Homo-oligomer: A and B are copies of this chain.
Amino acid sequence: MNMMSAKPPTSVSEVDLDVLENTLSFYIRTVNIAVSRDLDDRLEGLDVARGTGKITTLLLVDSHPGIRPSVIAQLILKDRSAMGKLVDQMEGHGLLTRSVSAEDSRALELYITPKGAELAEKVRGLVTRQSADFFEFIPEDEQKQLMDILRRAYRRIAGLS
């Protein structure tokens, strides 16, 4: 296959992507890079930039006081180890506090701090706007389709629904 590729391409527009052209996971992976980068730019200096999980953790602790690290870990697809480091970091930034659960002394309960709550509110706006802006060139209805499908995928992966 692909017998003739006469001259080596010197510009992206001359290139075809081989089998990746029809590989869903390729597009997920590349679009993810772009979307994450753009998001990081907007979170510049906000204590919650870089890596996956900080945002979700912040919002969940804010809206579910007392939630456990292990529950969040499942939702952001991290192991307890990674989650622990995330919590350390965020506690260090004064965004949340941890205390041992009364019912189960193995478990922790996470609570938001005033500073964390403030950031959470700011981040809600930022994140929503970012996603809207980034995918703005896609028609509304297609965005909806896309999200419906990906939501199902996510729920399946995270063991929800």
Contact = CB atoms under 8 A, between A and B. Distances in A.
A147 B1 CA distance: 23
Given A8-B109, A12-B159, A127 B19 contact: yes
Contacts of A68: 8-10
Given A9-B64, A34-B77, A26 B56 contact: yes
The binding surface of chain A is classed by DSSP as helix
Interface residues of A, number: 79
B66 A25 contact: no
A147 to B, nearest CB: 5
Interface string A104-146: 0001010000000000000010011011001101100011011
Contacts of A150: 24, 27-28, 31, 146
